[in-house]
Structure 1
Amino acid sequence: MNSLDYPVRATILVVDDTPENLDLMSSLLKDDYKVKVANGGEKALRIAQAENPPDLILLDILMPGMDGYQVLDGLKHDPRTRDIPVIFLTAKAEVEDEKMGLELGAVDYITKPISAPIVLARVKTQLALKAAADFLRDKAAFLEEEVAKRTREVRAIQDVTILAMASLAETRDSDTGNHIRRTQYYVKALAEHLKTTPRFAWFLTEANIDLLFKSAPLHDIGKVGIADRILLKPGHFDSQEFEIMKTHAALGRDAIAHAEKSLGADVGFLRMAKEIALSHQEKWDGSGYPEGLSGDEIPIAARLMAIADVYDALISRRVYKEAMPHENAVQIIADGKASHFDPDMVDAFLLIHEEFRAIARRFADSDSALESVAKRTDQVAGN
């Protein structure tokens, strides 16, 4: 027995309103198949829609009540029965009758009086075709599920990779608390609002917004390369320390690039993460760092992160400063329009700033995080 054979005898449903015809077909088929009979269309549909449907249906056309054409139509409109092959077995012998039956979806058309060898041969053929179709359908479903499974695994690997790298950075800067989680959602909220605008629609696809959400936690990954004497300093940076602190942007880009090189391939989600890590401290007027980019030279992902990062730095309490009220932070972002930030992004932020407030409340820092030793990355964001 091969994979296309039935593991048990196939079941044939014979539908005819004449008892003699039902007896004749049952006698003909019973040695090779399980046979079920129905003396009307309604009963035929009930049997076909039951838990164990037939493998093939032999269907008369001329029946009182629901005729064979109506039965076939009911079968084809039900997902449970639409793939059951139907052979019309009828006294209607005109070419137009046969044409109509095949157009409605029957797989074959046999006219009465029947020839037993012809009926058996055609039943066997159609069952073999159905077995092949079932095999291919099951195989396709299996492959589809495997692809979905692999896709889920790849996405999980991406998520774990990013979270692991971000967590590594957080071990150096515990004072940021839920900063990473908040900035993820700020960026996503801003991107969702801007995705239908002509200027950004080409970039802010659903796939890219998903990548933005995943990449956002890596914006400060470069902190791992900053010496403790600077990163952990409780006071303000002097000019030399500030210059060293500013190198975290390039350090972050280089760390992600090294990880990408290890994979031996160009990886979309890491490419966006590199842009965010390197350029989220750039300013619209060109006064930011590390490259002094301005305007549209700054990657869109980094421009989104700039607003998210600065807003969160402003509203977050640290041991060296109190948290700024939301309204004050919103005003500072507004004042930075066309100087620090992309003007269109500022306009979008001003329309949805209450979403930012809600995100901040949802992922508020714990008291222990707020009272931990202060670090200076958010000071750099405000410079």
Structure 2
Amino acid sequence: MNEAGIGTILIVDDEEELKFVLCAHLRHAGYHVFTASNGAEAIETARREQPDVVVMDVNMPVMDGLTATRRLKEDPATAHIPVIMLTARTRTEDLVRGLEAGAQEYLAKPFDMLEILARVRTVHRLATSRRQIEELNRRLESEVREKTHRLQVLYDYMRSLNQATTRDEILDLIVRCARDATGSERISLMMADNSGESLICERALGIERSLVRRIRVGAGEGVAGRVFQSGKTVVAKTVCDEDKSSGRYAYTSDTFLSTPLVTASLASHGEVLGVLNVTEKAAPSTFSEHEIECIRSIADAGAIALNHLERRRRLQESVLVLLRTIGRLSEYRDDETSLHLERVARYARLLAQRLLDDGAFRGQINEEFIEMIELAAPMHDIGKIGIPDDVLTKPGALTDEEFDLMKTHTEIGFRVLSMAMEGTGGGAPLLQMCSDIAYAHHERYDGRGYPRGLSADEIPLAARIVALADAYDAITSVRRYKEAASHEQAVERIRKDSGKHFDPVIVRAFLDGDRQFDEIRRRHADRESRLEAVGV
């Protein structure tokens, strides 16, 4: 199409006089005109100039109009160009051949010049409308593909957020999703520092690492600081945007000078946790409304996930304190200063983590199992609350009768926790693990333990882990009837009991990480005045 916008016409005819007359009338009507004298020239000119309409004579030397029309329609580069065919032949079969070749119109010579101008305008208008519709369809298809892609990215993001267990995972997911959803090449995630007065850059793409470490923005400073303070989203189209009433600002600082930019707050339950900056789109255009909403959704979902993670952390800490407090009831009558429960919980977690890392008990141990065993381990001796004081705190060795009574603490603990599980309808995995540990942590791998004489895999895995953790702590702690053994002595005793008292796979994990056990023992040692109850 020419600059005036009316259109470009290619006239193909070997009659110079007719060609001259047609050119004159079409140019007078405002069209830009090219000419060719035969079909071969027409094909070459059409490919090069891409006219809006071809007016083609049928009878020409070198290549006739029917052949040229077929060639034009077979070529993807010219198939879209409409053809008006001119001929002196007026038989029906001639008309059919022209239409079958691909012509849109068929005019018989001689023709009226006003008629051919009207036909050219009509064909050109229809072709233009068709191209506009095709272009609109292409844009719509492109938009649908882009929106579908963003929705898929958001769906995958939401699923990943639900599975994320650490703050680092969530921060990584936020930045990655913003990149994948918008195609932006520069993204930064700035989170509030401990004071809540400044933002520090914790994740970034497209920014030099040396710059990332220096990025710190005060509340109310720059775009990020204003968004952090207000909780609103800011969109900047150019570096000189300063229309504050519309919520669009420039974003300039020592480390940033790029637009278009979207800065969204990470807010949950009225608290702004940070801001997400997205800029430098791969495509040279501003962010669409759908992209802006997508970025807001990414920020909102990330904030909710971070908030839930923090709430779970606090709840877990509360549950851990509560379980340790309940577990300590069995020791309360003896001495409140013992860190036995804390140590056993840490030993059990360490063992479970090493087993997971080693690929042992695949399908049984995962991150959730590790979290639960740390919470459940302190409940291993909860049943001792039902043992009489004169047996529990006896300074010397127990008689056979007293020892049999002491052993009932496993069954007492099981009954107490079973009643608790009944109150939940049996759908409490943590309580189930507590019950398994309390009931079976004195079973032996060789089947010579109590209370049920279980062996090997008959013993719940959590109980087998806690059995070793509890034994190590008992060996290395002061008891009323003995001094504490050294770490090395404990390691040797556990090594000798592999396959007898303890699961060999768990012993192997212990031996591989025994130095970490020693570190926990030293870091969480009892005060010297501590006198443990008799451990059985």
- Using the TM superposition, name which of 182-191 and 276-285 deviates more: 182-191
Structure 2 vs 1, CA of residues 259 and 11 (structure 1 numbering), >3 Å: closer, same or farther?
A: closer
**Displacement of 1:274 after TM fit?**
1.2
Structure 2 vs 1, CA of residues 285 and 77 (structure 1 numbering), >3 Å: closer, same or farther?
A: same
Could you report, residue by residue, the CA deviation over 1:308-351 in whole angstroms, capped at 9, with x for unpaired residues? 11122112122321222322222211111111111121222222
Contact 1:279 1:289 in 2 (8 A): yes
Partner of 1:97: none
Contact 2:235 2:248 in 1 (8 A): yes
* Paired residue type of 1:301: A
**Displacement of 1:143 after TM fit?**
4.0
Q: Are 1:82 and 2:243 counterparts?
A: no
Distance 2:253 2:533 in 1: 68
Q: Are 1:320 and 2:481 counterparts?
A: yes
Q: Are 1:363 and 2:524 counterparts?
A: yes
Contact 1:172 1:224 in 2 (8 A): no
Correspondent of 2:369 among 196, 208, 218: 208
Contact 2:380 2:437 in 1 (8 A): yes
Answer 1 or 2: which has greater strand percent: 2
Partner of 1:306: 467
Partner of 2:500: 339
Structure 2 vs 1, CA of residues 330 and 175 (structure 1 numbering), >3 Å: closer, same or farther?
A: farther
Contact 2:339 2:525 in 1 (8 A): yes
Q: Are 1:48 and 2:244 counterparts?
A: no
Contact 2:478 2:530 in 1 (8 A): no
Q: Are 1:286 and 2:447 counterparts?
A: yes
* Paired residue type of 2:512: L
**Displacement of 1:224 after TM fit?**
0.4
Distance 2:236 2:381 in 1: 68
Partner of 2:341: 180
State how 1:75-154 maps to structure 2 within 5 Å. Answer: 75=261, 82=278, 103-107=283-287, 140=301, 143-144=304-305, 146-154=307-315
Correspondent of 2:511 among 344, 350, 364: 350
Q: Are 1:275 and 2:416 counterparts?
A: no
Contact 1:48 1:81 in 2 (8 A): no
Contact 1:170 1:176 in 2 (8 A): no
Structure 2 vs 1, CA of residues 254 and 173 (structure 1 numbering), >3 Å: closer, same or farther?
A: farther
Distance 2:303 2:486 in 1: 54
Contact 1:175 1:375 in 2 (8 A): no
Partner of 1:61: none
Per the alignment, in what secondary structure is the counterpart of residue 530 of structure 2?
A: helix
Partner of 1:224: 385
Distance 2:481 2:239 in 1: 86
Distance 1:309 1:81 in 2: 50
* Paired residue type of 1:82: V
Partner of 1:375: 533
Distance 2:360 2:231 in 1: 60
**Displacement of 1:230 after TM fit?**
1.3
TM-score, length-scaled by structure 2: 0.48
**Displacement of 1:50 after TM fit?**
5.8
Per the alignment, in what secondary structure is the counterpart of residue 216 of structure 1?
A: helix
Q: Greater relative contact order: 1 or 2 (C-alpha under 8 angstroms, separation 6 or more)?
A: 1
Partner of 1:96: none
Distance 2:235 2:505 in 1: 67
Answer 1 or 2: which has greater helix percent: 1
Partner of 2:422: 261
Stretches of structure 1 lacking an aligned partner (at least 5 in a row): 1-5, 17-21, 37-46, 54-69, 87-100, 109-125
Structure 2 vs 1, CA of residues 83 and 316 (structure 1 numbering), >3 Å: closer, same or farther?
A: same
Structure 2 vs 1, CA of residues 160 and 259 (structure 1 numbering), >3 Å: closer, same or farther?
A: farther
Contact 1:184 1:213 in 2 (8 A): yes
Contact 1:175 1:318 in 2 (8 A): no
Distance 2:444 2:246 in 1: 78
State how 1:245-256 maps to structure 2 within 5 Å. Answer: 245-256=406-417
**Displacement of 1:133 after TM fit?**
6.4
**Displacement of 1:292 after TM fit?**
0.8
Contact 2:262 2:292 in 1 (8 A): no
- Using the TM superposition, name which of 258-267 and 310-319 deviates more: 258-267
**Displacement of 1:306 after TM fit?**
1.1
**Displacement of 1:212 after TM fit?**
1.0
Correspondent of 2:321 among 145, 153, 160: 160
Distance 1:268 1:71 in 2: 51
**Displacement of 1:206 after TM fit?**
1.8
**Displacement of 1:220 after TM fit?**
0.6
Partner of 1:67: none
Could you report, residue by residue, the CA deviation over 1:269-297 in whole angstroms, capped at 9, with x for unpaired residues? 22211111111100011000111110111
Per the alignment, in what secondary structure is the counterpart of residue 368 of structure 1?
A: coil
Distance 1:331 1:7 in 2: 60
Contact 1:165 1:221 in 2 (8 A): yes
Stretches of structure 2 lacking an aligned partner (at least 5 in a row): 1-229, 265-274
* Paired residue type of 1:368: S
Per the alignment, in what secondary structure is the counterpart of residue 82 of structure 1?
A: strand
Structure 2 vs 1, CA of residues 14 and 225 (structure 1 numbering), >3 Å: closer, same or farther?
A: closer
How many residues matched?
Answer: 295
* Percent identical: 34
Contact 2:324 2:342 in 1 (8 A): no
* Paired residue type of 1:106: T
Could you report, residue by residue, the CA deviation over 1:203-249 in whole angstroms, capped at 9, with x for unpaired residues? 22122111111111111111101111211222222222111111111
The structure having more radius of gyration, on CA atoms, is 2
